[in-house]
Structure formats: C-alpha cells, structure tokens
Amino acid sequence: MNRFKLNALAAMTATLGLMGYANADTAPQQLVDKLSTLKVNYKILDNRAAEHGVDCAKLGADWASCNKVMITLTNTGDQITGQDWAIYFHSIRQILTVDNSQFKITHLTGDLHKIEPTEKFAGFPANQVVEIPITGEYWQLFATDFMPRWYATSGNAKPKVLKNTDTEDINEYLTQFTGDNWQRTKDDNNVLMTPESRFVKNAAVKTLAAADLRGQIIPTPLEVKIDQQDVDLSKGVALDLSALPQSGAEAVQQRFELLGLTLNSAGFPIKTAIQPADFKGDLALSGAYQLKIGEQGAQVIGFDPAGVFYGLQSILSLVPTDGSKNIATLDAQDAPRFEYRGVFLDVGRNFKTKALGNTTHTIMVLINGGVIIYSHMLANGKQPSDLRQKPALQYFSFHTL
C-alpha cells in the first residue's frame, strides 16, 4: 500500500513537473497575446513646454525645446501581470523623461524604442487605463509624426502587433491636436488645414480642359512637337515588341490592355527598334528614345531596350482618362536627366504587408525597375531570407512612369 502511494506520488509529481514545464513555455505567448489587445492612444499635451515652465535645456533638449505627450494604454480585458515583456514602438523624437515610475523607455537604434516594466509595475488592471506621460525633444506638429504598429514581446514568444495600431488610419491611436499645439512657436504663421481651409485653398485650383492636356506626356520629354491630327486607337493596337526582352514585352502588353487598348494585328501599328547610332551628345545614353506618332502608325526608336520601354510608356501617357482612345500625333525625344531616380519603400518601421511589398515590386518591374525597398528590419544588418531571394526587390533604377 505504501509502495503504491509512493509510486502514485512520484507519477503525480512528474506530471505536475511536465505541466509546469509546458506552462513555462506557453506563458510568454499568452502574455504577448494579452499585451497585443492593449489600446494605444497618443495625445499632445504641450508642443511648447519650454514656454510653460519645463526646463527643457536641463533635460538635455537641443535648442532647449521640448514637448509633452500622454501615452495611454487601455486594457479592455482581464488584468495583465508579469515583468518579462517589452513593447516596441517608434518615436521620431528623443524621449527625455518618463513620468510614471512603473515604466521605463529605452532608445535602441534610429527611432526604435521600447517600453518595459520597472520593479514598481503593478500590472494593467482589468478594464482600466494606464497613463504614461513623457517629455520628448523638439515638437511634434503632424499626425504622421506618430507611427503605427507597436508590437509586444516576451521571452521567446512570437511577437504580436498591438491591434489598434495595426492601421493606416492614424486617428485610431491619436487624439486630434487641440489649442495651438499645431504651432511650433507662438508666432507661427502657418495656416491650420481643416476641411474648410482646404476647400478654400483648392477653390483656386482650376481643372485643365481636355484640349490643354492633348499631347502632354508626363514627365515632359526634352523635345516635343505636337501636330494637329489625332489617331484613333479604339480598334486596338498592333504591337511590334521585338526590341524588348520577353518580360518587358509582356509588361507593355499588360499596360496597354489595362488602359482598354486591345491587342489586334489589324489595329494601329506601333513598331520598335534599337538604334544607338541615331543618338548624339547628351541623348546618347541608356534610356533615351525617339518617338514619332503619325496618322498611319507609331515608331519608337531606343538607344537600348530601356529607351524603347520608356517610349512606349510615353504613348500610354497620351491616352485620355475619360475613356476616349484618341491620341495626338507628335514627334518627341527624351533621355534621363538623372543617373538614378527611385522609389523608397521603408518597411522596417511600419511593417507594411507582404502583399504591399509584392505589389510595389510588380509595379516597379512593370516600369523597368525603379525602387529601393529599404528594410532595415534587423538591427544586426541582416535581411530576411525571403528578401535575399529577391535581388530585384532590393535595388532598381528608373526614369519615367
């Protein structure tokens, strides 16, 4: 009997030990899950704190200028306890003080910061609001100064973005500025833009007549001569894309179809060729093209395939947005003004979705490159493996859209 009790006790002890081990592994994830439900809110209290009794210089603020912000974390669920956690967020301003002894904020790199509990942390009470007053350097005058997508971590748990910050709608986590907090100084002459003031400002903007847009290519080529005749593309286009690689030809075909221009062997003929000897002086460089649109057809001559591609894009830019398929006859020639022009997509701070990255990549490839997707995702300088597998995603250059 005693032996049975001892064996049962040993088995129970082992089981409890295993349960404890399992709970030790799952507890951090449960904590992260709970932290991700906290509702974040920013509220600017004073953008000119130095004028209202705060010794910004003593706090180390450059220009002796600082601002006061209230961060609130609202817990709408059960109480959240535990000391082993951190919430990461981005602040464009150096944080000088944290006026809640339960928390500390550490600057990590760039504008990345983290909030951690101190030994005085009493938890996030159920259905209550916790306030964290902070003082930051300089001022924060724009809603976009407050970045979205805070995320919580604990131990080896999988980090999670705080739900109400996972948005492009800044109003989800930012209280509208009040008083004169939108002014950097009391003598600031900027006009606060409201729906009413924007209406007044935009009332002076006149929509250009369709006739004024005829033959206009964006960006404007170096030389353009617009003729009086138009050509009708409503019966489609017959594209000769032999001067382009297959990927470029497919991209051009997709663009024509996207604008409602069908591919038709009996349609308006558009021919392409690469003839670098036709380009002299400043026009003799990659991306240069000559475009001639006549009543019987169009021809694009490129310095190289990039030039052909850009010339075709210029034809597309002539197509009206009102559904009409008439474009002006003209002669144009153009070449890149800059060695590099690009689009910069920062996905490291705002955690843009993979879908957005793929879409951006597709669009940039469509226009023969033209993007730097700057991840800076990892502080150690490494890039995620799936990004390294897409070298085209990391560096492109382009001239025209």
Does residue 215 surpass a pLDDT of 50?
A: yes
Output the pTM of the full model: 0.64
Task: Encode the chain in three state secondary structure.
Answer: CHHHHHHHHHHHHHHHHHHHHHHHHHHHHHHHHHHCCCEEEEEEEECCHHHHCCCCCCCCCHHHCEEEEEEEEEECCCCECCCCCEEEEEECCCEEEECCCCEEEEEEECCEEEEEECCCCCCECCCEEEEEEEEEECCCCCHHHECCCCEEECCCCCCEECHHHCCCCHHHCECCCCCCCCCCCCCCCCCCCCHHHHHHHHHCCCCCCHHHHCCCCCCCCCEEEEEEEEEECCCCEEECCCCCCHHHHHHHHHHHHHCCCCECCCCEEEEEEECHHHCCHHHCCCCCEEEEECCCCEEEEECCHHHHHHHHHHHHHCCCCCCCCEEEEEEEEECCCCCCCCEEEECCCCCCCHHHHHHHHHHHHHCCCCEEEECCCCCCCCCCHHHHCCHHHCCCCCCCC
CATH number for 241: 3.30.379.10
Domain shared by 316 and 383, yes or no = no
pLDDT of residue 374: 54
In a domain, 161, yes or no: yes
Domain shared by 289 and 359, yes or no = no
pLDDT of residue 3: 52
Stretch 251-274: mean pLDDT, rounded? 95
Does residue 267 surpass a pLDDT of 70?
A: yes
Stretch 20-43: mean pLDDT, rounded? 81
- Rounded percentage of the chain residues whose pLDDT exceeds 90: 69
Domain shared by 277 and 330, yes or no = yes
- Rounded percentage of the chain residues whose pLDDT exceeds 70: 82
Q: Are 90 and 147 in contact (CB under 8 A)?
A: yes
Domain shared by 304 and 325, yes or no = yes
In a domain, 193, yes or no: no
Domain shared by 323 and 347, yes or no = no
Which of 113, 146, 172 is a domain's end point? 172
Does residue 1 surpass a pLDDT of 70?
A: no
In a domain, 320, yes or no: yes
Each residue's pLDDT tens digit, 153-166: 999 999 999 999 99
Does residue 353 surpass a pLDDT of 90?
A: no
Domain shared by 251 and 319, yes or no = yes
Domain shared by 265 and 318, yes or no = yes
Domain shared by 147 and 164, yes or no = yes
Domain shared by 138 and 267, yes or no = no
Backbone phi and psi for residue 117, each to the nearest 5 degrees, phi listed first: -80, 150
Domain shared by 141 and 237, yes or no = no
**Dist CA 92 CA 146 (whole Å):** 8
Rg (CA), the chain: 30
Domain shared by 224 and 346, yes or no = no
User: pLDDT tier at 37 (50, 70, 90 boundaries)?
Assistant: very high
In a domain, 77, yes or no: yes
Domain shared by 330 and 352, yes or no = no
In a domain, 204, yes or no: no
> What is the residue range of 62's domain?
27-172
Which of 334, 360, 383 is a domain's end point? 334
In a domain, 35, yes or no: yes
Q: How many domains does the chain have?
A: 3
